[in-house]
Amino acid sequence: MPRATVIAANVVPAYVMPAAMSYVSALLLADHRLAAAALTTIAVPSAIAALAVTFAPRGGRRVVRMLVAAVLCAAAAAAGCLALVHTGLAESTLFLDAVPSAVLGGVITAARTSNRKKNS
């Protein structure tokens, strides 16, 4: 599969689905903070996690890949959030948006990705 197709198949849904679900929830709850976060701090970490997992080495059992993806994506998102919050560029609520979203993006992509080796 060409790289653009792989990215489209994994990263685009990882961005669109959390953004759509969060935005619909924001509309139903009339929560302006959630609506603003839907397209940025919720969807973006999920897409980045999906991109990272898409090009990560494959192998092992699917459950193990999903667990490793969840832990690594959570750690990466938490580190990024900590840096942004510490420097004053974001509020501490970023942790509640970004970390779970990154975990979900990583796990879903790891579950969807086949165990075959990548074409180089």
pLDDT for res 28: 93
Buried (b) or exposed (e) across 49-61, using 16+ Cβ within 10 A? bbbbbbebeeeee
pLDDT tens sequence across 22-36: 899 999 999 888 888
Q: Where are the domains of the chain?
A: 3-112
The DSSP code for 42 is I
Q: Which of 76, 52, 41 is nearest to 18 (CA)?
A: 41
The most confident of 25-34, 86-95, 110-119, by mean pLDDT = 25-34
pTM > 0.85? no
